[in-house]
Amino acid sequence: MSTFLNDMKIGVTLKYYSVLLVIILAGSLAYTSKAAEVPAVNTSLPAKFPFSVGEQLIYRIYWGIIPVGQTIIKTEWIEENGKKLLAIRYRTFTNRIFDTIYPVDDTAESIVTPETFLPIRFSFLLTRRRSRTERTVSFDHANLKAVMASTATGQTNEFEIASDTRDIISFLYYSRSSELQPYQTRHCRVVADTGILDMKLKTYDYENVNIPPFGKVQSLRLDPIAKLDTLTVENGKVMSWIAKERCLATKMTIDAPLANVSIELREVNGPGADSWSKAMQKAHPDRKNAPLTTSHE
């Protein structure tokens, strides 16, 4: 079965779906440079971000109707060298059944200075059946440069950045403060797993997306068009839907060999008192904050 699936180029699609998840699942892609309001680092009060620190999002991944894995995204405060910083962390992994076909276990992290919401570093570890890629991007906004380093080889690549250049994760979370509008086409430029990534973003109209336990959620369709290494994401090949409240991605589909890949929001945990939190409390009355899942399904 594994050989047959590889012949149908499923491996090619799986190689990139984690990158696509990072592009979409953090929330809306904004078109303004509205700054997030945050207090000084030495205060004990939480920053006023467009999301609550401690928020945890869990997405289920399906190949057709077959569940194949999940993505978990979480924000939390950390301290480095006496400074309070924000960590945004992703993990995408296949379940035990799909591990026998094409195991994937990817992690990505952005460490952000809260006053400016600019990244200090962006790191990722992409694990496939026969490959492992681990790199870290260090940002030097004062000198308008960034350096990407490979953990395996020690090879480095320096490239120019702008004063407000962010990696894909910090850019997406920073952008959740801005409201998307239907029928727009915009461009953005961010740092991704291979360096600078240029994307075109097209919005359409609002649609009702059914996502248990939240019911039907009105969500704006947002499609990315990009060139990811050797894979071109064409218009209509990837479709996503973004809810107004908290700017959360509710669903995403990828046109793939044999069957479409579907990624659907299943849990919104952590602090909050909006409709997302109320739905989770109703679905899980015995818990307040779900712990970060680290094991396979």
60-82: per-residue pLDDT in tens? 988 888 898 899 999 999 999 99
**Which residues are CB-contacts of 273 (< 8 A; sequence separation ≥ 6)?**
none
Q: Within a domain: residue 254?
A: yes
Q: Within a domain: residue 12?
A: yes
Q: pTM of the predicted model, to two decimals?
A: 0.81
Q: Within a domain: residue 113?
A: yes
Determine the pLDDT at residue 296.
44
Determine the pLDDT at residue 256.
67
Q: Within a domain: residue 34?
A: yes
231 contacts 212 by C-beta, under 8 angstroms: no
Determine the pLDDT at residue 155.
93
Determine the pLDDT at residue 234.
54
Determine the pLDDT at residue 44.
35
Q: How many CB atoms lie within 10 A of CB 14?
A: 25
Give the integer Cα–Cα distance in Å for 144 and 141. Answer: 5
Query: For the residues of the chain, what is the DSSP string, one character each?
Result: -HHHHHHTTHHHHHHHHHHHHHHHHT----SS-PPPB---TT-SSPPB-SS-TT-EEEEEEEETTEEEEEEEEEEEEEEETTEEEEEEEEEEEE-HHHHTT---EEEEEEEEETTTTEEEEEEEEEE-SS-EEEEEEEEETTTTEEEEEETTT--EEEEE--TT--BHHHHHHHGGGS---SS-EEEEEEEETTEEEEEEEEEEEEEEEE-TTS-EEEEEEEEEEEEETTEEE-TTTEEEEEESGGG-EEEEEE--SSS-EEEEEEEEESS--SHHHHHHHHH-TT-SSPPPP-S--
Burial classification of residue 186, based on how many CB atoms lie within 10 Å of its CB (0-12 exposed, 13-18 middle, 19 or more buried): middle
Tell how strand 238-243 and strand 156-160 pair up: unpaired
Give the integer Cα–Cα distance in Å for 265 and 243. Answer: 11
Task: Please tell me the total count of domains within the chain.
Answer: 1
Give me 152's structure tokens.
Answer: 């395996």
Give me 256's structure tokens.
Answer: 């793939």
Give the integer Cα–Cα distance in Å for 111 and 143. Answer: 19
Q: Within a domain: residue 291?
A: no
Q: What is the distance of C-alpha 293 from the center of its chain?
A: 16
Domain encompassing residue 116 = 2-178+245-283
Determine the pLDDT at residue 43.
33
Q: Within a domain: residue 13?
A: yes
Low-confidence ranges of the chain (pLDDT < 50): 1-19, 22-46, 230-231, 289-297
Determine the pLDDT at residue 159.
93
Q: How many CB atoms lie within 10 A of CB 32?
A: 9
**Which residues are CB-contacts of 43 (< 8 A; sequence separation ≥ 6)?**
none
